[in-house]
Structure 1
Amino acid sequence: MTVARSGALARRLLPVLSWLPAYKRGWLMPDVLAGFALWAVMIPEGMAYAGIVGVPPVMGLYTIVPALVAYALLGTSRVLVVGPDTATGLISALTVGAIAAKGSADFNTLTSTLAVLIGAFFLLFGALRMGWVAAFIPMPVMRGFIEGLVCVTIIGQVPHLLGIEGGSGNFFAKLWSVLQHLPDVAPAPALTGLLSLATLLLLRRLVPHVPAALIVAVAATLLVDLLDGDGAGISVVGALPSGLPHLVMPRIDWVIIEQLAPGALAIVMVGYAEALGGAKAAAMQGGGDIDPNQELVAHGPANILSGLLGGFLVVGSLSKTSVAMAAGARSQVANLVAAVLCFLTLILLTPLFRGMPHPALAAIVIAAMLHLSKPRYLRDLYGRSRWELAVAAVVIAGELTLGVLHGIGLGVLLALLMLIYLTSHAQGAVLGQLPGTEAYRDIKRHPEAITFPGLLIWRAGGDLFFASIGHLGAGVRAALAARRPPVRHVLVDAESVNFIDSSACDALLGVIKDLQGQGISFAVARVRDEVRERMRLAGIEAAIGAEAFHERVTDGIRAWQAAEKAHGARRVPDPARDSG
């Protein structure tokens, strides 16, 4: 038994022990080919995304290998790819940029320190089994964040694309700076950047399965070298160090850690939501089970090792995962193959990239951001929920004016306020019986539903607690005032109530006594056992009687009809709904 438990614990902590023994020989070739495809994408993108983070391109290469290996051993997704990311990379740059000057050695060290801190948060949240935190970023907020980030990132890359001086500040300040410097655009850098961007977009449209980023990076490097781009004013990457990355000790300064922590937490929340979405999407298409808490754990060492080896933060990437899946990846062996190829590139091939032009790297970033943008989602949201569209628009506006961190913070705050509002304003409704059935529906949505004179059937719209019970009481009173003839009995359908707290019990008991004082009886139907026990302890069962608890709404109606008959009241229901 002890051995079995130890084995189960080992497989839970190291998911590789579960999938590797079941690995099929026929998967090897597809995984190897997928590994080459990932290598072709991650090398140029890793160097390009380093520009977003604000660090030298070689740090992008340092980032890739430890992240791929760590996730392959610890992750629960078969094909999720972990690596540099545009969304969280910009948050990293802004977080570190508030402490150190971009381009300085201190900036690079703090960027790696931030990655270690992010990894520590991931591990902590995984140990506390807090995988549910991603649910607090709803999709409209996430999409609004991404759309705003697309605008902010692109405007930040335009100066590199055109070879002009960039500005600082929010989106509009950077846009104004670009417009002011347009007369300074030199033909050679601008032509290099624009041709690279056009080629990327054309290749992705016509032949989406080819490694467009690698093709453009190699072609631009060769052309700039052949045409003496340096002499024409085209900025290039320059010499990249070859060999193993050196160990970078994080800055253990509590003042600096305190300054980095808000950005680290924002990256963990945004990055985890993105990674979990990618893992679930891959699982839906390729199969497998995803453990949200283990995903948090897996992202911990991936970031810690990246930071210790001179890299920056990593998260699960849906775009790179899509590349792996399109190339036929069957397991994390594809990531391990890509890691080996990236390691060999770092050891042997970095001199080949010294002539890569910065306009081409900017084009790679801009193309990736354009691919990330989904304006159609916002158009669809206009017809589905204008309230949620407004939330997404506020997030976008916040990013463009206040900054990325403030924008996502504003989005999360709005999401929490929306959650509080929805839970405290349960959507109760007056119910009527659909003709010829025992189904009961909202009479506003179903005009054909039959109501019963003297009876109000009220649906509680959700859980009852201190913030929502007042809304239920107000809804019942408003419905009673609108009904003609006057109501003599209230029947509450409590199927949607999974929880009721003591405050709600006390308030509900007050409503019941108030109704009874007006000569209106009260009953409930479809009450869950836990909820009924709390009602019993609060004295509600004693106030209305155990017989007032019904298994079905139909049972409650029949009991009321029998009671009315016993008192000589008319028992036949009027099929015509009261216009009030």
Structure 2
Amino acid sequence: MGRWAPGLAALLAYRRVDLGPDLRAGLAVAAVAIPVGIAYSELAGFRPEVGLYSCVFPLLAYAVFGSSRQLVLGPDAATCAVIASAVAPLAAGDASAYAALSAQLALLTGLICILARFLRLGVMADFLSKPILVGFLNGIAITIILGQLGKITAIEAHGAHPVRAVLDLALRLGEAHPPTLLVALGAFGLMLAGGRWLPAFPAAVLAMGGCALAVFLLGLDLKGVKTLGIVPAGLPGISAVHLDPDALLGLLPAAGGLALVSFTSMMLTSRSFASKNGYEVDPDKDFAALGAANVVSALTHGFAVSGADSRTAMADAAGGRTHATALFAALAVALVLVFLTAPLRYVPTAALGAVLVMAGLSLVDLSTLRLIWRADRTEAAISILATLGVMGLGATQGILVAVVLALLRFVRLTARPRVEVLGRVAGMPGFHALSRHQSATAPEGLVIFRFNGPLVFFNAGHFRHALLDATRGTPPPSAVILDLLPVTEVDVTGLFALKELAVLLDRRGTRLVGAGRQTEWRNWMTQRGFNPDAFQIYPTLRHAVKGLAEPVSPPAEGPDGADTKAS
């Protein structure tokens, strides 16, 4: 049970002492989840009750299968933006087709996550680097903010692209509906005042409740202010999801991207709170838990969900200790669905737009972007490109941009590892880079060469040119010592590069030897059909320098078995 359902195993060992803190935390999470779920449902293109459905059953699924004690799943801004971007073009304005396609998208996302768990792809949590993820979420945040301006002003925007729609709105500000605009400004004011004077009270609840009360008392819905309308009471039934073969081609890329982004952002949240509270989370188990939550959401008329950082932070701040916090939160939302949906009819959509704008502003992370800029301008440029990719191409294609940037970043780091020539520094043990120590001196007649990365097909040429550049000079060095400790992997192309270098250096009167990883390198060479005795490897750099300082007769063959002086 601990292997397949760690949450259930923890719940079966539940302690009564945790009941009070978990119950209080669950109610606090529900207070945040209800308004946010309604707002994000609007963002994804659904009726408000669908957002609440997505706050109940996925929470239960993660509580059973997840490994994090604090993590709360539910509608997420980035996930909802991707859903709307992927499903709207396929649905072509048909509401029933939209619901069916979104259910298929959630099911496919869940199945991909479950498959990834069996393939042990939990390492994908580290695939999107911090700069890329920050850039992606910044792009999503800006897109969300721009997309809510029409709801706040009651101006029907022309043009699907958010930037074009905003330009159109700017030219038509005179058409704004004053009561709707006042409601939105009131919602902003309530959230700002609540954050200052009532920090423990959910600001979104205050804004939506206050604006709903104003609509009810002043009859603003009769003056043209749009509201949610009647919200059906009760819990959803369970229904099978029928996969449409014609839609799979359009949904699969979005489902794969959704699984990657949702899992990556979820693991960032769960790991941070697990570290804070002194326990570990299992990425593979959480991949399956995220998949189970999405499958359950699809079967219960919800949509794709992810880890919710704001609700997780609320659970932790309110003292939640175990998986039971999510159970109590789901129960509270379910009770609202059954008994308290009537007041929701007065919630104005302008207030939802204001809540989403504030949520988008909370996602914009300029402080981290500034830190990235100070640390590495190239990484900051990659982050900005990810943001522009989302804004220019949309959320779905923005995921593709993020993945391509991640791959390019990986290739850049591994295809051109740092190379160093080493020497001795007086008063310091070991060998150190000549480029970093002006007083460092290389052993006479020797070149100690360090290649900080795997020696494989896509960087073998770089390795060859860098080593030959290091050995140029008159007279040529008597030997080159290759520091093998940083070379974590070698493939056939890398071994052939060594073979060619051994022959070329031998013609110049220079031997090629290695230092470190003796057994590992011998095994690599044997497995790939090379003579393991042809390439001499010393235990350490110190042994290599000492051994080469003494006259040694040249060996009979090189790494390829040819007659050379290299060893």
Same fold per superposition (TM over 0.5): yes
Matched, 1:497 2:507: no
The answer as to 2:476 corresponding to 1:486 is: yes
Q: Deviations over 1:529-560 (max 9, x none)?
A: 2223223565464444xxx4222211111112
Q: Give me the whole-angstrom Cα distance separating, in 2, the residues matched to 1:141 and 1:309.
A: 33
State yes or no: 1:555 paired with 2:557: no
1:64: how far off? 0.9
Is the counterpart of residue 243 in structure 1 residue 234 in structure 2?
A: yes
Task: Tell me, yes or no, if structure 1 residue 525 matches structure 2 residue 545.
Answer: no
Q: 2:322 matched to 1:331? A: yes
Contact 1:497–1:531 (8 Å) recurs in 2: no
CA contact (8 A) 2:476 2:510 kept: no
Amino acid at match of 2:70: V
- Asked if residue 450 in structure 1 is aligned to residue 438 in structure 2, the reply is no
Root-mean-square deviation over aligned CA pairs: 1.9
User: How far, CA to CA, are the matches of 1:515 and 1:44 in structure 2?
Assistant: 71
Shift of 1:157: 0.8
The 5-angstrom pairing of residues 198-209 of structure 1 reads: 198-205=189-196, 207-209=198-200
Q: Which residue of 1 aligns with 2:123?
A: 132
Counterpart in 1 of 2:394? 403
Question: What do residues 480-510 of structure 1 show as CA deviations (whole Å, max 9, x unaligned)?
Answer: 12x4653221111110112111221122011
Superposed counterparts of 1:159-170, under 5 Å: 159-170=150-161
**Counterpart of 2:139?**
148
Q: Distance in 2 between matches of 1:178 and 1:405?
A: 24
Amino acid at match of 2:545: I
Could you report, residue by residue, the CA deviation over 1:287-345 in whole angstroms, capped at 9, with x for unpaired residues?
A: 22211111111112211121121111111122211111011110111110111111110
1:251 alignment partner, SS class:
coil
Contact 1:431 1:457 in 2 (8 A): yes
**Alpha-carbon distance between aligned partners in 2 of 1:250 and 1:136, rounded to the nearest angstrom:** 30
The number of residues matched between the two structures is 553
* One-letter amino acid of the structure 2 residue matched with residue 562 of structure 1: E
Would you say the 8 A contact 1:248–1:309 is kept in 2? yes
- Report Cα offsets for 1:503-538 as digits up to 9, x if no partner: 211220110121112111122111252223223565
Q: What CA distance in whole angstroms lies between the structure 2 residues aligned with 1:170 and 1:453?
A: 66
For residue 371 of structure 1, report the CA deviation from its aligned partner: 1.0
Are 1:123 and 2:114 counterparts? Answer: yes
> Contact between 2:142 and 2:364, CA under 8 Å: does it hold in 1?
no
Alignment partner of 1:280 is 2:268: no
SS at match of 1:13: coil
Q: Taking structure 1 as reference, are residues 380 and 290 closer, same or farther at Cα in structure 2, changes over 3 Å only?
A: same
Task: Judge conservation of contact 1:502–1:538 (CA < 8 Å) in 2.
Answer: no
Distance apart, 1:349 and its partner CA: 0.4
Q: Tell me, what secondary structure is at the counterpart of 1:445?
A: coil
Alignment-derived partner of residue 78 in structure 1: 69
Alignment partner, residue 428 of structure 1: 419
Q: What per-residue deviation string (whole Å, max 9, x for no partner) do you get for residues 344-389 of structure 1?
A: 1000000011100111111111111111111111111111111111
| Structure 1 counterpart SS, 2:56 | helix
User: Separation in 2 of the partners of 1:310 and 1:181?
Assistant: 38
Once the two structures are aligned, what percentage of the paired residues are identical? Answer: 32
Q: Deviations over 1:79-117 (max 9, x none)?
A: 100000000111101111111134622212222222122
Change (3 A) 1:26 1:490: same
Q: Say whether 1:357 aligns with 2:345.
A: no
TM-score with structure 2 setting the length: 0.94
Taking a change above 3 Å as real, the CA distance of residues 340 and 152 of structure 1, as seen in their structure-2 partners, is same
Gaps of 5+ in 1: 1-9, 568-580
Give the SS at the match of 1:523: strand
Counterpart Cα distance in 1 of 2:310 and 2:299: 26
> 2:92 maps to what in 1?
101
Are 1:181 and 2:169 matched, yes or no? no
Gaps of 5+ in 2: 555-567
Letter in 1 for 2:506: Q
AA of the residue aligned to 2:259 = V
Matched, 1:47 2:18: no
Q: In the alignment, what sits opposite 1:299?
A: 290
Give the conservation status (yes or no) of the 8 Å contact 2:110–2:290. Answer: yes
Q: Tell me the distance in 1 between the aligned counterparts of 2:482 and 2:193.
A: 61
Change (3 A) 1:364 1:299: same
Match of 1:576 in 2: none
Give the CA deviation at 1:244: 2.1
CA contact (8 A) 2:190 2:206 kept: no
8 Å Cα contact 1:55-1:103 kept in structure 2? no
Per mean C-alpha deviation after superposition, the further-off stretch among 67-76 and 390-399 is 390-399
Taking a change above 3 Å as real, the CA distance of residues 397 and 532 of structure 1, as seen in their structure-2 partners, is same
Contact kept? 1:276, 1:292, Cα under 8 Å: yes
Against the structure 1 CA distance between its residues 197 and 532, is the aligned structure 2 distance closer, same or farther, given a 3 Å change threshold? Answer: farther
Contact 1:49/1:60 (<8 A) preserved = yes
Partner of 2:524: 534
